[in-house]
């Protein structure tokens, strides 16, 4: 699944420990369970109407 995080944001999540990855040769692979948990922990977007 592609959540649409950019490279910089992804590495910020990795460095903060909020996202887990493994190295596979020279590539870095994000664990699906970790990405799903991160997205589930994000706050919901709420639309507010201007008065």
What pLDDT is recorded for position 51?
66
Tell me the pLDDT tens digit for each residue of 1-51.
788 889 999 999 999 999 999 999 999 999 999 999 999 999 998 888 876
Q: What is the pTM of this model?
A: 0.72
Q: Are 3 and 41 in contact (CB under 8 A)?
A: no
Q: Record the tokens describing residue 16, joined without a space.
A: 């903060």
What pLDDT is recorded for position 18?
94
Domain for residue 33, yes or no? Answer: yes
Domain that holds residue 20: 7-41
Domain for residue 50, yes or no? Answer: no
Domains held by the chain: number = 1
Residue 47, strand partner residues: none
Domain for residue 48, yes or no? Answer: no
What pLDDT is recorded for position 35?
93
């Amino acid at each position: 699944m592609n959540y649409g995080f950019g490279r910089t944001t992804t590495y910020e999540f990795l460095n903060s420990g909020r996202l887990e990855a493994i190295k596979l040769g020279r590539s870095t692979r994000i664990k699906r369970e970790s990405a799903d948990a991160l997205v589930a922990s994000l706050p919901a977007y709420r639309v507010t109407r201007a008065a």
